């Protein structure tokens, strides 16, 4: 990056980080409100089989130090959160943050891996279609990609599970023992493959990149590049490739996270999605809050990346 | 013509319209020559095929099912090369009853062939400047970078710093003020006139044999237009570069070109020395040239406050080309004596005086037609 571009980039970075902080605060309030207003009480899990209105419940609350009012509850959580303490899981009693970090790595592997796979498939198809128009080959590839993207990810997941695990018995579906099995690496690759192909990102990525790239290739300045005998891709790269790819990546991260929840269920993948699913069923408030914040931060990170790339690349954006 | 640099012979550039099952004959049998050191101006309305002629010469015709035939010979370094060599083999045309049924074109092969033919020609031998200079420069790159790229591609200066010095030298030559500062500017921070100057600097920095200027003043403010014309005139005397100048503005052509070719409906209707063709007292003149001249506001028309003369009728539809003269439908000088010819037979481009050719039945050729 040129020295001149660092100043605008750092300015954008500072602003975006500020927005991120505000946004995370907003997310925590909204999620808290939803949880608070939703029926059900997390303590029911601990008091299974007993009347929730009994003396026992009240005593339990006091023993756990849960404030009575909603704002008291939120303030207590918020205060601890600022110190990096997201509380303990009501179900397991384990601290939320280390648990999140443990499963977060799995989810990150799953989503980033699938994003990389999507790019790996989408980019050649889109670039070929933009450069050569609709040939038989790339039209067929695009069509297949569109059909796969339209397939529900859970259904595709079950088909894969059925074929590879039940029919061929290639690898087990239990995370803990997987590493010791013969095809253990498949256990890691298959969910990534399923999410990368069927999350719906593939078709959007092909379409966006193809459209943007072919628009840019028709620009006057590309004709100038050709007229002066320069390499066209060097001139088209920034506007026709870098910007649309980061745009679509950042726009698709929320969908990937949503897809991850499902894929993790199907493949018994020990990630955040499965943890969220479990926590939602248990009304495990601290865990849900923690996951919501981490997911929101992840989404914002994608946007941040896109803004930074756009500012670094686009001279007009850097001189506002 | 002595020492030609570029010779276009019977160039036909057609685009196929699938919907209409017909060819749009953008350029329909054009023959032109540009001699070393001269400026040839091509003038005509929008749709007359002048820009497509230029783009064909630069190998920039890309639109899908287009068909190109004829020859474009470039004489450089003592060798002659046909820039269209073998291109027509990549398209197969199926015709029935005079109607085009299908055009099968191997586009990849065609493009590959075109790239091979143009390698070492584009930028190096033939440089081009365009209309709307702001959008013709890469908005994501500085002026300086774009110039340096051209210089390192086409000259012996390969080092970054010497290329930069040369780039600044060229920015000075096109009279951009404080070129060292402008070097780091992006096109969006510059005016249209500045951008066109930078475009010209970029084109000339490769020291090409031929400069194709495709409507270089279109899309600029009127005052800037005349500045750019001044600059082109100055550079012409300074560098003596051979130029193919395309413009719909006949006054720009008049100012800059040694010879002129007037195009209508994809064909050349009149060509000759500019001074001769556009001389006020010229005895022989194609009716279309007359009409073009009448559409320029002159001091005379302004003084008399008379209306500008618009050319009646529509620009020729190059799909359904008439059997006779292409200008027949709009011509106001058809006489009864020649009407039959005008309506039914395309006039040849006849030589009416040495070097002066007119495609009109009014002027029977003096030499052999």
Question: Which chain B residue's Cα is nearest to A243?
Answer: B140
Contact A227 B124 (CB under 8 A): no
* Cα of A108 to nearest chain B Cα, Å: 33
Whether A3 and chain B come into contact, CB under 8 Å, resolves to no
Of B173, B179, B170, B177, nearest to B150 by C-alpha is B170
**Which of A250-254, A295-299, B15-19, B323-327 has the lowest average pLDDT?**
B15-19
Please tell me the distance from the alpha carbon of residue B25 to that of residue A114, in angstroms, as a whole number: 50
B91, B31, B85: which is closest to B63 by C-alpha?
Answer: B91
Helix (H, G, I), strand (E, B), or coil: what is residue A220?
helix
Q: How confident is the model at residue B19 (pLDDT cuts 50, 70, 90)?
A: confident
The pLDDT score that the predictor gives to residue A71 is 87
- Which residue in A222, A254, A238, A251 sits closest to A310, CA to CA? A238
Q: Is residue B246 part of a domain?
A: yes
Mean pLDDT of A15-36: 91
Residues of A in contact with B142 (CB under 8 A): 315
Q: Looking at the complex, report in whole angstroms how far the Cα of residue B132 sits from the nearest Cα belonging to chain A.
A: 9
Please name the residue of chain B whose CA is at the shortest distance from the CA of residue A313: B140
| Chain A positions in Cβ-Cβ contact with residue B206 (cut-off 8 Å) | 228
Residues of B in contact with A238 (CB under 8 A): 140
Q: How would you class A216 by CB atoms within 10 Å of its CB: exposed for 0-12, middle for 13-18, buried for 19 or more? A: buried
Residue B282: burial class (beta carbons within 10 Å; 0-12, 13-18, 19+):
middle
- Taking the CA atoms of chain B, what radius of gyration do you get in angstroms? 22
B5 is written with which tokens? 């640099």
Locate tokens 């050729």: which residue?
A: B365
In A, which residues are within 8 Å of B64 by CB distance?
Answer: 133
Residues of chain A contacting B199 with CB distance shorter than 8 Å: 224
Selected residue of A129, A137, A226, A228 to mutate for chain B interface (largest B Cβ count, 10 A): A228
User: Which residue out of A225, A227, A231, A233 would a mutagenesis test of the B interface target, given it has the greatest number of B Cβ atoms within 10 Å?
Assistant: A227
> Residue B353's pLDDT is what?
87
* % of chain B at pLDDT higher than 70: 91
Q: What is the DSSP letter of A238?
A: I
What is the number of domains present in chain A? 1
Strand, helix or coil at B47?
Answer: coil
With tokens 């540009």, the residue in question is B34
A194-216 tens-digit pLDDT: 999 888 889 999 999 999 999 99
Residue in A132, A221, A319 closest to B137 by CB: A221
Is residue A125 over pLDDT 50?
A: yes
Q: Does A314 touch chain B (CB under 8 A)?
A: yes
H or E segment at B23? strand B22-35
Mean pLDDT for B66-92 is 86
Report the C-alpha gap between B216 and B232 in whole angstroms.
Answer: 9
Alpha-carbon span A39 to B49, nearest angstrom: 74
Helix (H, G, I), strand (E, B) or coil at B210: strand
> Nearest CA of chain A to the CA of B104: how many Å?
14
Residue of B nearest to A320 (CA): B189
User: Residue B130: its chain A contacts at CB < 8 A?
Assistant: 220, 223-224, 227
Considering only residues B15 and B144, tell me which one the structure prediction assigns the higher pLDDT. B144
Q: Supply the mean pLDDT for chain A.
A: 85
CATH number of the domain to which A176 belongs: 1.10.3720.10
B-chain residues near A223 (CB < 8 A): 60, 130, 136
Asked if the structure places residue B58 within a domain, the reply is yes
A184 vs B354: which has the higher pLDDT: B354
Size of interface A-B (CB pairs under 8 A): 74
Verify whether the Cβ–Cβ distance B122 to A227 is below 8 Å: yes
- Could you read off the pLDDT of B34-69 as tens digits, one per residue? 999 999 999 998 888 899 999 999 988 876 667 888
| Residue labelled with tokens 């303030």 | A75
Cα–Cα distance list, A166 to A155, A190, B111 (Å): 15, 14, 51
Q: Alpha carbon of B66 to those of A299, B19, B70, B92: distances in Å?
A: 47, 14, 14, 11
- Beta-bridged to residue B32, according to DSSP, are B8
pLDDT of residue B111: 85
What are the C-alpha distances in Å from B108 to residues A1, A11, B61, B115? 36, 46, 14, 10
Alpha carbon B340 to chain centroid, angstroms: 33
The mean per-residue pLDDT over the stretch B166-172 comes to 96
Is the pLDDT higher at B338 or at A55? Answer: B338
Label residue B152 left, alpha or beta by phi (over 0 means left) and psi (-120 to 50 means alpha).
alpha
Q: Classify residue B368 by burial, with Cβ atoms within 10 Å: 0-12, 13-18, 19+.
A: exposed
Which of A130, A137, A224, A226 has the highest number of chain B CBs within 10 A, making it the mutation to test binding with B? Answer: A224
How many helices and strands, by DSSP H and E, does chain B display? 13, 14
Cα dihedral across residues B85, B89, B93, B98: positive or negative: positive
Question: Residue A146: its pLDDT value, please?
Answer: 92
B266, two tokens: 């994809």
Q: How confident is the model at residue A179 (pLDDT cuts 50, 70, 90)?
A: low
- pLDDT bracket for residue B316 (50, 70, 90): low
What span, in angstroms and rounded, lies between the C-alpha atoms of B198 and B145? Answer: 11
Angle at alpha carbon of residue B278, lines to B273 and B279, rounded to 5°: 100
- Using pLDDT thresholds of 50, 70 and 90, give the confidence band for residue B262: very high
| B130, B149, B188: residue with CB nearest A230 | B149
User: Is the model's pLDDT at B192 over the cut of 70?
Assistant: yes
ipTM for this prediction: 0.88
Structure token digits, residue B230: 């001044």
Alpha helices in B240-320 (DSSP H): 250-256, 274-277, 287-294, 299-304
Q: Is B356 helix (H, G, I), strand (E, B) or coil?
A: strand
pLDDT digits (tens, 9 = 90+) for A216-253: 999 999 999 999 999 999 999 999 999 999 999 999 99
- Chain A's closest residue to B142, CA to CA, is A315
Nearest to B132 among A220, A235, A315 (CB): A220
Cβ-nearest to B136 among A221, A238, A319: A221
Global model pTM greater than 0.90: no
Nearest to A110 by CA among A199, A174, A47: A199
Task: Find the domain containing B107 and state its range.
Answer: 4-125+208-271
Is position B261 within any domain?
Answer: yes
Task: Check: CB of residue B152 under 8 Å from CB of residue B197.
Answer: no
What is the per-residue DSSP string for A239-267?
Answer: IIIIHHHHHHHHHHHHHHHHHHHHHHHHH
B47-86 residues touching A, CB cutoff 8 A? 58, 60, 64
Report yes or no on B103 lying in a domain. yes
Asked whether the beta carbons of residue A132 and residue B128 sit closer than 8 angstroms, the reply is no
Q: Which chain A residue has its CA at the smallest distance from B114's CA?
A: A226
- Interface check for B209 against chain A (CB to CB < 8 A): the answer is no
Closest to A230 (Cβ–Cβ): which among B142, B153, B188?
Answer: B153
Nearest 5°: phi and psi at A235? Answer: -80, -30
Query: The tokens 């505000």 sit on which residue?
Result: A22
Task: With CB atoms and an 8 Å threshold, state whether B138 touches A227.
Answer: no
Q: Is the pLDDT of residue B236 over 60?
A: yes
- Beta-sheet pairing, B242-247 with B39-43: parallel
**Partners of B11 in the β-ladder:** B30
Q: Is B297 part of any domain?
A: no
pLDDT above 50 (res B205): yes
Instruction: Give the CATH number for residue B62.
Output: 3.40.50.300
pLDDT given for residue A54 in this prediction: 67
Is the CB of A2 inside 8 Å of chain B's CB atoms? no
Alpha carbons A303 and A281: distance in angstroms, whole number: 30
Residue A214 lies in domain = 3-318
CA–CA min distance A318, chain B (Å): 11
Report d(CA B334, CA B340) in Å as an integer: 10
Give the bridge partners for B7, in sequence order. Answer: B33, B73
Q: How confident is the model at residue A320 (pLDDT cuts 50, 70, 90)?
A: very low
Q: Is B122 on the interface with A (CB under 8 A)?
A: yes
* Residue B147 near residue B171, CB atoms below 8 Å: yes
Question: What digits encode the pLDDT tens for the residues B101-115?
Answer: 777 778 888 888 888
Q: Tell me the C-alpha distance between B328 and B334, whole Å.
A: 8
The mean per-residue pLDDT over the stretch A103-127 comes to 93
Nearest to A220 among B120, B135, B153 (CB): B135
Is the CB of residue A313 less than 8 Å away from at least one CB of chain B?
yes
SS (H, E, C) A156-190: HHHHHHHHHHHHCCCCCCCHHHHCCCCCHHHHHHH
Residue B106: predicted pLDDT: 82
Range of weakest confidence among A255-259, A315-319, B229-233? A315-319
CB A247 within 8 A of CB A314: no
- Judged by CB atoms closer than 8 Å, whether chains meet at A225 and B154 is answered as no
pLDDT surpassing 80 at residue B249: yes
Q: How many CA atoms lie within 13 A of A290 on its CB side?
A: 30
Dihedral pair phi/psi, residue A83, rounded to 5°: -90, 5
- Of the two residues A169 and B110, the one the predictor is more confident about is B110
Average pLDDT, chain B: 87
Query: Does the CB of A229 have a partner CB in chain B at under 8 Å?
Result: yes
Model confidence at B5, in pLDDT bands (50, 70, 90)?
Answer: very high
Q: Which of A229, A237, A241 is the best substitution to test chain B (most B C-beta atoms within 10 A)? A: A229
Q: Are the C-beta atoms of B267 and B28 separated by less than 8 Å?
A: yes
Contacts of B56 in chain A (CB under 8 A): none
- The distance of B332 to chain A (nearest Cα, Å) reads 39
Give the DSSP letter string of A16-27: HHHHHHHHHHHH
pLDDT at residue number B369? 40
CA dihedral B107, B113, B115, B118 (to 10 degrees): -130
For residue A35, how far is the Cα from the chain centroid?
22
3-class SS of residue B25 = strand
State how many domains chain B has: 1
Compute the average pLDDT of residues B265-293.
89
For residue A2, pLDDT over 60 is answered with no
Question: Of residues B88 and A47, which shows the higher confidence score?
Answer: B88
CB of A59 within 8 Å of any CB in chain B? Answer: no
């Amino acid at each position: 990056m040129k020295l001149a571009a660092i100043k605008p980039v750092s300015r954008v970075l500072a602003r975006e980080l500020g927005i991120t902080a505000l946004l995370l605060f907003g997310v925590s309030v909204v999620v808290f409100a939803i949880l608070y207003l939703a029926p059900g009480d997390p303590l029911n899990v601990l008091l299974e089989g007993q009347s929730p209105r009994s003396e026992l419940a009240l005593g339990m609350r006091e023993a756990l130090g849960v404030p009575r009012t909603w704002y008291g509850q939120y303030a207590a959580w918020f205060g601890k959160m600022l110190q990096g303490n997201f509380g303990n899981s009501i179900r397991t009693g384990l601290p939320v943050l280390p648990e999140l970090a443990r499963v977060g790595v799995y989810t990150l592997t799953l989503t980033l891996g699938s994003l990389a796979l999507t790019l790996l498939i989408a980019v050649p198809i889109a670039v070929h279609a933009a450069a050569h128009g609709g040939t038989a080959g790339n039209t067929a590839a695009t069509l297949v990609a569109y059909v796969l993207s339209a397939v529900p990810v859970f259904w595709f997941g079950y088909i894969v599970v059925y074929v590879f695990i039940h029919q061929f018995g290639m690898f087990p579906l239990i995370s803990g023992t997987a590493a010791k099995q013969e095809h253990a690496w498949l256990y890691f690759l298959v969910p990534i493959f399923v999410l990368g192909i069927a999350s719906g990102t593939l078709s959007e990525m092909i379409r966006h990149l193809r459209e943007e790239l072919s628009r840019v290739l028709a620009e006057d300045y590309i004709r100038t590049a050709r007229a002066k005998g320069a390499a066209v891709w060097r001139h088209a790269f920034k506007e026709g490739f870098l910007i649309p790819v980061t745009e679509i990546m950042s726009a698709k991260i929320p969908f990937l996270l949503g897809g991850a929840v499902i894929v993790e269920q199907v493949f018994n993948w020990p990630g955040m999605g499965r943890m969220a699913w479990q926590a939602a069923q248990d009304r495990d408030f601290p865990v849900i809050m923690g996951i919501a914040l981490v997911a929101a931060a992840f989404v914002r990170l994608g946007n941040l990346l896109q803004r930074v790339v756009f500012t670094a690349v686009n001279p007009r954006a850097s001189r506002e | 013509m002595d020492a030609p640099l570029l010779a276009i012979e019977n160039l036909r550039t057609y685009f196929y319209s699938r919907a209409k099952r017909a060819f749009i004959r953008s350029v329909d049998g054009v023959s032109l020559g540009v001699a070393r050191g001269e400026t040839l101006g091509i003038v005509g309305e929008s749709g007359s095929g002048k820009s497509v002629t230029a783009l064909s010469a630069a190998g920039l015709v890309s639109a899908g099912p287009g068909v190109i035939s004829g020859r474009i010979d470039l004489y450089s370094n003592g060798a002659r090369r046909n820039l269209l060599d073998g291109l027509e083999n990549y398209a197969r045309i199926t015709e029935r009853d005079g109607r085009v049924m299908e055009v099968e074109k191997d586009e990849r092969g065609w493009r590959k062939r075109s790239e091979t033919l143009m390698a070492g020609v584009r930028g190096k031998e033939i440089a081009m400047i365009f209309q709307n200079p702001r959008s013709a420069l890469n908005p994501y790159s500085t002026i300086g970078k774009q110039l340096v790229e051209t210089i390192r591609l086409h000259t012996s200066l390969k080092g970054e710093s010497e290329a930069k010095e040369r780039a600044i030298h060229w920015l000075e030559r096109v009279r951009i003020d404080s070129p060292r500062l402008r070097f780091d500017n992006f096109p969006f921070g510059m005016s249209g006139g500045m951008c066109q100057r930078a475009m010209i600097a970029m084109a000339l920095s490769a020291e090409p044999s031929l400069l194709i200027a495709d409507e270089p003043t279109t899309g600029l403010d009127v005052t800037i237009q005349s500045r750019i014309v001044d600059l082109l005139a100055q550079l012409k005397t300074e560098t003596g570069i051979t130029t193919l100048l395309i413009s719909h503005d006949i006054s720009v052509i008049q100012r800059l070109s040694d010879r002129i070719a007037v195009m209508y409906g994809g064909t050349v209707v009149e060509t000759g020395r500019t001074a001769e063709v556009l001389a006020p007292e010229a005895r022989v003149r194609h009716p279309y040239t007359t009409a073009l001249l009448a559409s320029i506001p002159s001091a005379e028309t302004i003084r008399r406050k008379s209306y500008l003369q618009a050319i009646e009728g529509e620009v020729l539809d190059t799909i359904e080309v008439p059997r006779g003269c292409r200008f027949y439908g709009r011509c106001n000088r058809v006489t009864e004596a020649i009407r039959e010819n005008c309506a039914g037979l395309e006039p040849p481009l006849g030589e009416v005086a040495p070097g002066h050719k007119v495609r009109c039945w009014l002027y029977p050729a003096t030499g052999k037609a």
